[in-house]
A and B are shown apart, each in its own frame.
Chain A
Amino acid sequence: MITKRIIPCLDVRDGRVVKGVNFKGLGDVASPVELAEYYSGAGADELVFYDITASAEGRKLFTDVLCETASKVFIPLTVGGGINTLRDFDRVLKCGADKVSVNSGAIRDPSLIDAASERYGSQCVVLSVDVARVGGEFHVFAKGGREDTGMEAIGWIRRCVEHGAGEIVVNSIDTDGVKRGFDLDLLAKVCFNVKIPVIASGGAGSVAHFIDLFRTLPGVDAGLAASVFHFGEIRIGDLKAAMAAEGIPVRL
C-alpha cells in the first residue's frame, strides 16, 4: 500500500544548516550531510534542502554539500531555493537531486515549469507556493513569503499543474511557525482542485497535528516540517509509530 510521507526540510546557508538544530548525541549538527544521514536512518521518507544562500561562493558550497549527501543518503532529495533557470535545474540534478522545487522563479517566469517538465519530466518539477489570507482570499506570496503578488493561490496552482508541475508543496504563511496545526482549510481547497501529490507545510507542532492532517484530508500525500524535527520536539520514529497506530499507512 502506498504510504504517507514524512519530510524534514533543511535550510542551508553557505553549506551549513540554519534555523538551529538541537540534537543530543549528534556531533556537528550544522552539517547538512550528517543531518541528512541522521534523518534517513530515523525513517524520513524524503528530504528537502533549501538553499538560502545569496552569494556565488555559497552556491558552490551548497552543490558540494548536495553531492556529498547524495553519495551517502539513498532516499529522494528535493532541492529548492534560487531556482530560476534550466541551468539551475541542471546544476542541482547533476549533484544528485531527484526533484527541484520552484517558487519565485516560476512566478517571475511561469514558462520555466513548461521547459523543465519537458526536459526532465513532470516528476522532477515541484511547485512550492507560499500562501496567506488577504481580505478573504488566498494569495500567493513571493520572495520567501515577504511580497504579496496579488495572485489568487488556487488559480496559480492549477495553472502550474497545467504547465507541468508534478507535485506541490503548499506552505501556509498564516500557520507557519505558530505550531497549532496545518492549514486544513487551504489544503482542502488545494486537494479539491488538483490531482497531483500535495505536500503540506507550515504549522506542525505535535504528532497529533500530523494525524489530524492525514485523517482529515486523505488527499494530502506528505507532511513537511523543519524546526520541530531539528529541535527533537517530534521524533520521526515516534511520529510514524503513532500514525501506524491510527491506521495511517506509513513506511516503518
Chain B
Amino acid sequence: MTAIVDYGVGNLFSLKCSLSYIGEKACVTGSPEEILAADRIILPGVGAFGDAAAKLRETGLDDVILRAVSSGKPLLGICLGMQLLFDESLEFGVHKGLGLIPGRVVPLEEIPGWDTRLKIPHIGWNSLEKRQDSPLLKYTADGEYVYFVHSFYAEARDEDIAAVATYGGKVTAVVQHGNVFGCQFHPEKSGNAGLAILRAFCGIGGDGQC
C-alpha cells in the first residue's frame, strides 16, 4: 500500500489513477496512522513552496513524514513535493523545507549557464540524463522523455542527483538520498516513461509486489 499524502495542495486524482493503473494499491490520506502504516509514501504538490510548507506544518504531517522516513520507509516527492524535501526555498522569501536532502530551491534563472531567451516556467517534455544508478530509475533508459512544469529548481549535491535535464543549464530532475527520492517532473503525466518510474518506486521496500 502506498500512501499519497493529502495536505490540501494540488490535485491527486491522476496520481492515484496512475498507481491503480500499474496495479499498486494507493490511498489518498491526511491521516498520520494511515501514512505510518503504509509501505511507502508519496508527497505530491503544486503551487507555492511557502504555502505548501506551511500546510505541512499546520497539519503536523511534516513530523509524520520525518518519522516514517527515519523508520526506513521509502518516500517519493513529486514536483513541489520534491522541492519540499530540501533544506529551504527562496520562492517569495526564504522558507524552510523538510531538510531530508541537503540543498536549496532557487529560481531557474540562477542555474549556471542560464539563457535569458528561455521561457519560465519550464513546461513540456524534456529528456532525462542519468547521472548515477538509482532503484527509482531501474526501468528507465537514458534519454527518456518526461513532463516538467516548474519555475524553481533544486541546487543539490552531485552525490544526491540521479538524473538531470537540460534547460539553460542542468536542471535537477531525479534525486536520491538514502530512502528519500524525488522527481521534479510529473511521472503520473509522463506516459509510459513515468509509469515505469512509479513502478520502480513501488518495488522499493515493503511488499515489492509491483
B: number of interface residues (CB 8 Å): 31
Decide if the interface of chain A is mainly helix, strand, loop or mixed.
Answer: loop
B140 within 8 A of A: no
Q: Is B125 a contact of A45 with CB atoms below 8 Å?
A: yes
The number of chain A residues touching the other chain, given as a range, is 20 to 34
Q: Is B17 a contact of A197 with CB atoms below 8 Å?
A: no
Q: Which residue of B lies closest to A194 (CB)?
A: B119
Q: Which of B48, B126, B191, B194 contacts A2 (CB 8 A)?
A: B126
Q: Which residues of A contact B147 (CB under 8 A)?
A: 75-76
Decide if the interface of chain B is mainly helix, strand, loop or mixed.
Answer: mixed
B108 smallest CB distance to A (angstroms): 12
Q: Is B120 a contact of A74 with CB atoms below 8 Å?
A: no
Q: Is A74 a contact of B194 with CB atoms below 8 Å?
A: yes
Taken together as a complex, chains A and B put the C-alpha atoms of A195 and B119 apart, in Å, by 6
**B-contacting residues, A91-136, CB 8 Å:** 93-96, 98, 120-124
Q: Which residues of A contact B192 (CB under 8 A)?
A: 74
A181 within 8 A of B: no
Taken together as a complex, chains A and B put the C-alpha atoms of A120 and B46 apart, in Å, by 8
Q: Is B166 a contact of A71 with CB atoms below 8 Å?
A: no
**A-contacting residues, B19-58, CB 8 Å:** 20-21, 46-48
B18 within 8 A of A: yes
A4 smallest CB distance to B (angstroms): 8
Q: Which of B14, B46, B149 contacts A70 (CB 8 A)?
A: B14
Q: Which of B17, B167, B189 contacts A76 (CB 8 A)?
A: B189
B206 within 8 A of A: no
B98 within 8 A of A: no
B87 smallest CB distance to A (angstroms): 23
Taken together as a complex, chains A and B put the C-alpha atoms of A232 and B47 apart, in Å, by 38
Taken together as a complex, chains A and B put the C-alpha atoms of A72 and B192 apart, in Å, by 11
Taken together as a complex, chains A and B put the C-alpha atoms of A98 and B48 apart, in Å, by 16
Given the contacts A2-B167, A121-B47, A93 and B123 also touching, CB distance less than 8 Å: no
Q: Which of A67, A74, A123 contacts B195 (CB 8 A)?
A: A74
Given the contacts A1-B166, A74-B195, A197-B119, A94 and B13 also touching, CB distance less than 8 Å: yes
Taken together as a complex, chains A and B put the C-alpha atoms of A195 and B17 apart, in Å, by 33
Q: Which residue of B lies closest to A222 (CB)?
A: B124
Instruction: Encode contact with A along B184-197: 1 for CB under 8 Å, 0 otherwise.
Output: 00001111101100
Q: Give A contacts to B, CB under 8 Å.
A: 1-3, 5, 40, 45, 67, 70-72, 74-76, 93-96, 98, 120-124, 166-167, 195-197, 221-222, 251
The 13 sampled A-B contact pairs (Cβ below 8 Å) are A2-B124, A70-B14, A74-B17, A74-B21, A74-B188, A74-B190, A74-B194, A75-B189, A96-B17, A123-B121, A221-B119, A221-B123, A251-B125
For the complex of A and B, the 7 pairs showing the least CB-CB separation, nearest first, are A71-B17, A251-B145, A251-B125, A123-B149, A3-B125, A96-B13, A2-B126
